[in-house]
């Protein structure tokens, strides 16, 4: 597509990148892994049970990492989740692997 929009996916999980491409490429988006100096970035993850706070933190950190680079201006995608089991009081929650 001539006007593909590029999205940088802030993840080290290759399967997440493949899944995002399957969904987004037909819509005109090019999904690339966010790499800093050739490697996926390490994030400082807030210790909270709020997935929204964790995701927003990763977006902010990603934007700071690409600020002033050739990647500046591209969209950032993050995906975070947890396993919440009602009978266990939502354990393990955001701390699941």
The single residue of 42, 50, 80, 90 carrying the catalytic annotation is: 80
d(CA 57, CA 44): 8
The verdict on whether 50 is a catalytic residue reads: no
Burial of 31 (0-12, 13-18, 19+ CB in 10 A): buried
Between the CA of residue 74 and those of 7, 45, 64, 86, 89, what are the distances in Å? 6, 22, 12, 38, 39
Q: Which residues are catalytic?
A: 80
């Amino acid at each position: 597509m001539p006007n593909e929009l590029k999205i940088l996916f802030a993840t080290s999980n290759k399967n997440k990148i493949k899944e995002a491409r399957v969904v987004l490429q037909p819509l005109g988006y090019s999904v690339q892994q966010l790499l800093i100096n050739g490697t996926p970035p390490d994030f400082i993850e807030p210790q909270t049970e709020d997935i929204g706070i964790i995701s927003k933190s990763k977006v902010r950190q990603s934007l700071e990492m690409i600020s002033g680079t050739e990647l500046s201006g591209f969209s950032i995608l993050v995906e975070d989740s947890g396993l919440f089991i009602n009978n266990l009081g939502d354990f393990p929650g955001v701390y699941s692997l």
